[in-house]
Amino acid sequence: MNKLKNKLKYVGAGLLVTVGFIDPGNWATNVEAGSTYGYSLLWVITLSTIMLIVFQHNSAHLGIASGYCLSESIGKYIRKPWKQIWIISAIGAAICTALAELLGGAIALQMLFDIPIKAGAVMTGILVITALFGRSYEKVEIWIVGMVSIIGFGFIVELNLVDVDWTASAVSSVLPTIPMGSGILILGLLGAVVMPHNMFLHSDIIQQQHYFDQSEVVIKKKLKSEFKDTMLTMVIGWVINSAMIIVAAAAFYNHVEVTDLVQAEKLLEPIAGKASSIIFAVALLLAGVSSSVTAGMAGGTIYSGLYQKSYDSNDKDSRIGILITILGGVILIFFIGDPFQALIYSQMMLSFQLPITIILLIYLTSSKKVMGKFINKGLEKYALYFFASVVIFLNVLILILQFTGS
């Protein structure tokens, strides 16, 4: 029983990260990718998931081996003014994440009860802050993750109900192509999968289990176990993301131009029939609330780390971080015109911030002062450098293509 509980600790941390795989931002970018470009952008999901596994494991590596989460490490080892610059950019990423999650919840409330988007965003924000401050989310977390996951797996089931070109989808999953006009969406897909705030959150959740004060043998064992569970949960996310794009491609490509998430509820019609709109809206609401909670937790982690504290929803600094993140997301929603495009662009902004977080993470985990014997080595070291270069290259390439109109 104790062995099972220990394994569930890792899976719990991975699941909190995996919630981001089926959040409203992902739903929007996946539906847009499939409906507009068919199968051709599936490679972005594959590449992003591989990078996510590497970076999330390195984030957990930092927490387990050093005893400090990513944000605490910044507070401890990075000098001013760089410390403030790193943290401000990370908080900005958390706010962009919260914007997408809260917007998803608001769209769902509009679908279910005809509540205006802005009012729905305020209601969702209040619910999330109340849940985080009261810690009530912990009591229903597994149920929300479970219910949202059912919808995610519903897309997998639909693969057997739609006419899929499996050869084209398989090739597109591994062969990079950049269709004309797809640049912003590629960055959106990348940011929606390799979300910067999740690296802060994962390292904090892991380090709170205090493996660093145990023996070297125990730490090595925990690192191996954590990597296996990270890979398992991230691969599940890859399957669900890919299924969303494939189903959207089969249902909409060359047939319907998708301009909002409300249209996407038609994807569930083969399974749910006329009830698809209600099921889709409820799932979207749950996805919005659950992922808003993780965004708020990440914001609390990032801000409290400045003062070298772990996340604690009862602590003043963690609460300030939560409020900045959630209220920042709500305020931004009052200034947007097209909710669907706002979801896409919010994920693109995450991609722009991603190199900053990755470079900082690699710098810290490559420092003997921070990591001691557990400094980056061997294959992991070169994988980190390679994928960091890929992220930077993609951001620069897409920007060039957008500005040149190529």
Topology of domain 2-404 in CATH is: Amino acid/polyamine transporter I (1.20.1740)
Residue type, 199: M
pLDDT tens figures, 55-82: 988 988 888 888 888 888 888 888 888 8
DSSP assignment of 263-323:
HHGGGGHHHHGGGHHHHHHHHHHHHHHHHHHHHHHHHHHHHHHTTT----TTSHHHHHHHH
Sorted by sequence, the CB contacts under 8 Å of residue 287 that are 6+ apart come out as 19, 22, 23, 24, 27, 101, 104, 148, 151
pLDDT tens figures, 224-256: 777 877 788 788 888 888 988 998 888 788 777
Q: Which residues of 17-35 are buried (b: 16+ CB within 10 A; e: fewer)?
A: bbbbbbbbbbbbbbbbbbb
Q: Give the pLDDT confidence score for residue 383 in this predicted structure.
A: 92
What confidence tier does 19 reach under pLDDT thresholds 50, 70, 90? low
What confidence tier does 143 reach under pLDDT thresholds 50, 70, 90? low
pLDDT at position 394 over 90: no
Higher model confidence: residue 324 or residue 280?
A: 324
Which pTM was predicted?
A: 0.84
Higher model confidence: residue 117 or residue 218?
A: 117
Q: For residue 219, count other CB atoms closer than 10 A to its CB.
A: 19
| Total number of residues shown for the chain | 406
Residue type, 310: S
Q: How far is CA 29 from CA 129, 369, 394, in A?
A: 26, 40, 17
Sorted by sequence, the CB contacts under 8 Å of residue 181 that are 6+ apart come out as none
Q: Give the pLDDT confidence score for residue 102 in this predicted structure.
A: 92
- Among candidates 339, 269, 320, 277, which has minimal Cα distance to 121? 339
d(Cα 296, Cα 110) in Å, to the nearest integer? 23
Q: Give the pLDDT confidence score for residue 388 in this predicted structure.
A: 92
Worst-scoring range by mean pLDDT, 30-34, 44-48, 174-178, 396-400? Answer: 396-400
Q: Give the pLDDT confidence score for residue 41 in this predicted structure.
A: 95
d(Cα 345, Cα 355) in Å, to the nearest integer? 17
Tokens of 171: 């090739």
d(Cα 209, Cα 313) in Å, to the nearest integer? 17
Residue type, 218: V
The tally of CA atoms less than 13 A away on the side-chain side of residue 297 is: 25
d(Cα 356, Cα 365) in Å, to the nearest integer? 14
Averaged confidence pLDDT in the chain: 81
DSSP assignment of 211-256:
GGGS-HHHHHHHHHHHHHHHHHHHHHHHHHHHHHHHHHHHHHTTT-
